[in-house]
Amino acid sequence: MEVIKYLEEAVKIEINASKLYFMFADHYKEDFNFWWEIANEELNHAALLKTTIEFAELNDLPEEIILNDIQELINLNLEFDKIIESFKSNPSRQSCFEIALIIESSVGESHYQEIMSGHTDNEVIKIFQHLNREDVNHFERITDYYNIIKTL
């Protein structure tokens, strides 16, 4: 089932992002709480998407949940190892934010955020939005935090 494959790739993105953000937390103790929170939210997103997979196996999902091109998700997942190795070879506090902003502006992440924060009349999406209510706007939160620390 194509929907299931799509959702499985989306789960991988969330888990990969969480691993990366936990790594950032370990590298920069001054930003530990910030990255730790974002990383845990990514794990929450993965759990919610896993629930969506279970739901999809039993029911039809609203069309707006799924992007048209699964390949973009696959490509992002394939890039995570390169991103992690690149960071490990040349870590910097600035690169944490630059990498995170690239990931959070990726098609899969931005689509997820759009669904979780957008208006909908669909009851299924409303349930997922309610479950995810506090774990949104990573791109904005990362940008805001980065702008604050740049001025210190």
User: pLDDT digit string (tens) for 111-132?
Assistant: 666 776 777 776 666 666 665 5
Q: How long, in residues, is the chain?
A: 152
Please check whether residue 74 is in contact with residue 11, taking contact to mean a CB–CB distance below 8 angstroms: no
The domain ranges of the chain are 2-150
Residue 80 has pLDDT above 90, yes or no: yes
Give the pLDDT score at 136.
60
Residue 78 has pLDDT above 60, yes or no: yes
Decide: residue 65, CB within 10 A, 0-12 exposed, 13-18 middle, 19+ buried.
buried
| Superfamily covering domain 2-150 | Ferritin, core subunit, four-helix bundle (1.20.1260.10)
- Residue type, position 138, single letter: H
Per-residue pLDDT band at 67 (split at 50, 70, 90): low
Element (H, E) at 133: none
Give the pLDDT score at 40.
95
Give the pLDDT score at 73.
85
